[in-house]
Amino acid sequence: MRNPPTANINKPFLSLQDVSFNKFKGPVFNNLNWHVRQNETWVITGPGGSGKTTLAEALVGQHRITKGTLKYYFLPEQENTWNLKKYVGFISFPPSERLINYGKFYYQQRFNSSDTEGIVSVTEFLQNTTGVTAQDELWAHVVKLMNLRDLLHLEIIKLSNGQTRKMLIAQALLRQPKLLILDNPFAGLDKQARHDLEALVKNLIQHDTELILITDQHDIPVWATHVLHLNNFSIQGAYTRAEYLNKNIADTAEEKRNNLPGVNTIFQNHQAAPDFKVAVKMENTTITYDGKRVLNNITWTVNQGEKWVLLGPNGSGKTTLLSLINGDNPQAFANKIYLFDRRKGTGESIWDIKRRIGFISPELHLYFRQNLLAETVAATGYTDTLFPKGQLTPQQEQTLHHFFAYYEIGHLQKKHFLQLSAGEQRLVLLIRSLVKNPEMLIWDEPFQGLSADLIQKTQELLSAYATPAKTVIFVSHYEHEIPTWINKRIYLEQGQMKELI
């Protein structure tokens, strides 16, 4: 347990004194001053693109300090900052390429059971990166704590978004860090997993692990003691939790302009009458991996123009179900599945399917690891690829401009995608899903990494898209994120359909 607060209340833990550091060869933060003491639990918050993750990366040594002093009081005297990862755990999403290089894989590989040679399992990943083995008492404790037993044999690219986050948290816990930095850890987790993680965090705080949490500025947990508020790569203020809540701090950005008419024109002027009656039809669909049924006897019909929400806990089969629709899963050919009035496997190509669908998911996000401009990544939505193909027409370029202007991120178009924050990357991928004004839109947990104002702005954009002729399938673990105009629900649990409304 922690020592009594009076023993450590004034002991310094971490301090930044007039610190400046660079990222991508340019200055980011300048003259930072921030002091953390033992028994303080800080939340770093602020609007999207304010520098929250960048600051965390600097704390774990990923960016070069050009000025000032960054001191870690918890390091043993003989240690230096070159060995920081032994004492500091940092969990972010998407994970660093140094941790998991998804660029070595192709997206459909995760659904192809015959093409997994050389891909490590969850067990191998955790043991290789921590040195802890299955014989260690700590291993059994963490596996039980994170409910990982049924995932240990799986290849890491087959994990769902929520399962990947649980694995990364387990990795950090196996290292037993003195400081643990969690970047939006609750995103992508179902209700029970969020409850379990909340209990886990409280337990860590009570057992001598100092914690820094990065989260949305309207979601300050009760166990936090202090809040560091950022905006535009500078500290706007450091507060106790009570001070922050009393001040009711909101985004300091200027009031947003209404740029919806520009994209509304795209949705209204470029919509052909649908040439199908049934978008999706599955009859007794069953998917099996390594002898385990991931989907079991699913019968489901999505008619043209219907608006559905797909619900279920982590690992319930939602991602696999969507892969059958989006043309990514080869097992679709072994089942009776109809897409856009046509039986799967009757001569259509994967591109015939994808050209009708706009798609975003946390898993797809992981595979954009190429050094492309943000506008180039968004433009791959025209070709449904991960790489650019051919020249854009003037009309396509104008469409891209309208979408970037809607989010007021035109200044990011010429920046490299991998240099953007996770929230900014998510906006680019949302634009990618919409640029061709598809007949059907599949948004799988689309709001991860977005601040409350950007979620509202994206919901308004989705509502503008969702005319009566458009078909929508929406996935979320948060009830308040589901648009009120979605009136049909399917609920999966352990690969089975438990509810259909």
DSSP sequence for 274-295: PS-SEEEEEEEEEEEETTEEEE
Q: Which helix (H) or strand (E) holds 34?
A: strand 26-37
What confidence tens digit (pLDDT) does each residue in 154-181 have?
888 888 877 888 898 899 889 888 899 9
pLDDT value of position 8: 54
Question: Which of 178, 226, 207 is closest to 42 using CA atoms?
Answer: 226
State how beta strands 42-45 and 210-214 pair: parallel
User: Omega into 94 within 30° of 0, i.e. cis?
Assistant: yes
Class of 263-499 in CATH: alpha beta
Buried/exposed 459-491: b ≥16 CB within 10 Å, e otherwise: bebbebbbeeebbbbbbbbeeebebeebeeebb
DSSP 500: E
State how beta strands 471-475 and 440-444 pair: parallel
Structure tokens at 309: 């929400």
What confidence tens digit (pLDDT) does each residue in 292-341 have?
899 999 999 999 999 999 999 988 999 999 999 987 788 888 899 999 99
What confidence tens digit (pLDDT) does each residue in 22-78 have?
877 666 889 999 999 998 999 999 888 889 989 999 998 888 888 999 999 988 876
pLDDT band of 103, cuts 50, 70, 90? low
Do the domains at 12-100+114-248 and 263-499 have one common CATH topology?
yes
Higher-pLDDT residue of 492 and 162 is: 492
How far from chain centre, in Å, is Cα 365?
8
- Strands of the sheet with 471-475, listed across from one edge: 357-360, 440-444, 471-475, 307-311, 488-493, 496-500
> What CATH number has the domain spanning 12-100+114-248?
3.40.50.300
pLDDT band of 6, cuts 50, 70, 90? very low
Q: Which helix (H) or strand (E) holds 88?
A: strand 88-91
pLDDT value of position 254: 43
Burial of 29 (0-12, 13-18, 19+ CB in 10 A): buried
- Give the separation between CA 158 and CA 109, rounded to whole angstroms: 9
Burial of 286 (0-12, 13-18, 19+ CB in 10 A): middle
Residue 105 has pLDDT above 80, yes or no: no
CA distance to 184, 226, 230, 270, per residue, from 45 (Å): 10, 11, 6, 39
Buried/exposed 244-256: b ≥16 CB within 10 Å, e otherwise: beeeebebebeee
Residue 252 has pLDDT above 80, yes or no: no
Beta-ladder partners of 23: 26
DSSP secondary structure, 380-417, as one string: GGGTTSSS--SPPPHHHHHHHHHHHHHTT-GGGTTSBG
Amino acid at 21: F
pLDDT value of position 79: 66
Sequence-distant contacts of 204-208: CB under 8 A, at least 24 apart: 204/173, 204/180, 205/2, 205/41, 206/1, 206/2, 207/1, 207/2, 208/1, 208/2, 208/178
- Give the separation between CA 432 and CA 423, rounded to whole angstroms: 14
- Give the separation between CA 303 and CA 294, rounded to whole angstroms: 24
Percent of the chain with pLDDT strictly greater than 90: 50
Average pLDDT over residues 185-190: 83
State how beta strands 307-311 and 26-37 pair: unpaired
pLDDT value of position 332: 85
Residue 482 has pLDDT above 50, yes or no: yes
- Give the separation between CA 237 and CA 221, rounded to whole angstroms: 18
- Give the separation between CA 165 and CA 187, rounded to whole angstroms: 9
Average pLDDT over residues 257-278: 74
Rounded to the nearest 10°, the torsion over CA 244, 246, 252, 255 is 150
Question: How big is the chain, counted in residues?
Answer: 501
Contact 344, 285 (CB under 8 A): no
- Give the separation between CA 328 and CA 339, rounded to whole angstroms: 13
- Give the separation between CA 147 and CA 382, rounded to whole angstroms: 40
Q: What is the mean pLDDT of the chain?
A: 86
The residues spanned by each domain of the chain are 12-100+114-248, 263-499
Structure tokens at 340: 């856009």
Give the SS3 label for residue 23.
strand
Contact 377, 428 (CB under 8 A): yes
Structure tokens at 27: 């200055």
pLDDT value of position 343: 93
